[in-house]
């Protein structure tokens, strides 16, 4: 498990949404694409090394 501390894990969850929204705005403006408002993946899925494309 990447986060051994519940406090750190909770902080990461809070920041994840904020960071996604910031990146979404920048990516949408630069690319002109319509991207999902909510991240389609959970933080657990993103951090799971086994779920990355090979």
More confident residue, 19 or 53: 19
* Confidence (pLDDT) at 1: 54
Instruction: Please list, in sequence order, all residues whose beta carbon lies within 8 angstroms of the beta carbon of residue 13, skipping any fewer than 6 positions away.
Output: 43
Q: What's the alpha-carbon Rg for the chain, to the nearest Å?
A: 13
- Mean pLDDT of all residues belonging to the chain: 87
- Token digits for 5? 């501390």
Comparing 25-29, 38-42, 46-50, the range with the smallest average pLDDT is 46-50
Distance between CA atoms of residues 52 and 54, nearest Å: 6
Q: 34 pLDDT band (50/70/90 cuts)?
A: very high
Domain boundaries, the chain: 1-53
Q: At CB < 8 A and 24+ separation, what contacts does 9-12 make?
A: 12/43
């Amino acid at each position: 498990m990447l986060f051994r501390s519940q406090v750190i894990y909770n902080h990461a969850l809070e920041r994840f949404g904020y960071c996604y929204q910031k990146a979404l705005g920048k990516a949408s403006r630069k690319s002109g694409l319509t991207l999902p408002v909510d991240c389609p993946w959970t933080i657990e899925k993103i951090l799971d090394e086994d779920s990355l494309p090979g």
